[in-house]
Amino acid sequence: MTPLAIRLSGAAVLLVATLLAQPGAAELRTLESVGVVPLKAGAGPQGPPRDAAERHALVSAVRRVAQEELPNFDPDRDTASLDAALGDKPLDYVTRYRILEDRGERPALFSSEPGVEIEYVVVMEVEVEANRVRERLRSSGLMAAPRVGPRRHRVRLVIEDVGTWASYRAVRTLLEDLGVQSAVPVEMQRGRAVLVVHSQRSPDGLMAALVRAAPPNLRLVPLGSDAETLRLRASFLRPPAAAGDDSSSDSSGE
């Protein structure tokens, strides 16, 4: 063997040894995340609201990846322990992110806090290192003993032709009444809303349950579904009557 061949052979051995010594490739998940910060008059967030909205989008993205690793996750029961396990540094798990839309200040749609009329919204694309999230869940004990329970479905619910806040809110209320584990809005634009719903029902089963539970004045029209996505149109046949509104009664007298 020539000296050059010996050197090349040694380099090849060193390269193989180096590759074997490296940890496994990162498991990256790219998802779209909505960041929202409510703005109260005279009590806004510390610092620029855009920064707070960006942080909320990062935290939400990491939390969603973590929830997908916990098939029996219950938001009401497990959110506090999950957040404690993940810590307060979302960038520990995020490898890349970028702003898709800076929607700025707008009438409150995602915020549920009483008295909040304005919120700051950004939409971001976030790349999360799922294996790091999984390692943290295991080290904290959240994945050590998976709970045995009914299968949970992750359904992307797309509401088309959303004309009013009332029709969107009506669908959210129906989902809550049906006892879904969570219904997280991930996209909101004029005429269209998208929620990620975790439920024990399949997309077809969830659609059937929504139609059955809808009040008489709310029309739900199925627009198609597959294994992961459910599309529907929601509209009121007539505006919901305001409390104390008796304008529909006969007041002409006799």
List 43's β-bridge partners, or say none.
none
Go through the chain and tell me how many residues it has.
Answer: 254
**Tokens 């989008």 label which residue?**
57
The CA distance from 60 to 124, in Å, is 11
List 49's β-bridge partners, or say none.
none
Single-letter code of the amino acid located at 189: Q
Nearest CA to 28 out of 125, 140, 156 is that of: 125
- SS3 for 57? helix
**pLDDT confidence of residue 16:** 36
**Tokens 């199925």 label which residue?**
222
The CB-based long-range contact list for 223-229 (8 Å cut-off, 24+ gap) reads 223/158, 223/160, 227/203, 228/154, 228/155, 228/156, 228/203, 229/155, 229/156, 229/157, 229/158, 229/203
Vertex 118, ends 60 and 64: CA angle to 5°? Answer: 10
In tens digits, the chain (254 residues) has pLDDT values of 444 343 434 444 333 333 333 444 568 888 888 898 888 765 544 678 999 999 999 999 999 888 888 877 777 788 889 999 999 999 999 999 999 999 999 888 777 677 778 889 999 999 999 889 989 998 888 875 444 455 577 888 888 887 777 888 888 888 888 888 788 787 777 778 888 888 888 888 888 888 888 888 888 888 887 778 888 888 887 654 554 444 444 444 43
**pLDDT confidence of residue 185:** 80
List 129's β-bridge partners, or say none.
28
Which class would CATH give 153-236? Answer: alpha beta
Q: Which tokens go with 146?
A: 């998976």
Residues near 28 by Cβ (< 8 Å), separated by ≥ 6? 95, 127, 128, 129, 130
The CA distance from 195 to 156, in Å, is 6
CATH code for residues 28-140: 3.30.110
- Contact between 188 and 36 (Cβ < 8 Å): no
List 154's β-bridge partners, or say none.
198
The CA distance from 83 to 205, in Å, is 31
The CA distance from 88 to 163, in Å, is 38
The CA distance from 177 to 111, in Å, is 19
The CA distance from 188 to 65, in Å, is 20
The CA distance from 34 to 111, in Å, is 12
**pLDDT confidence of residue 30:** 87
**pLDDT confidence of residue 17:** 37
User: Structural domain boundaries of the chain?
Assistant: 28-140, 153-236
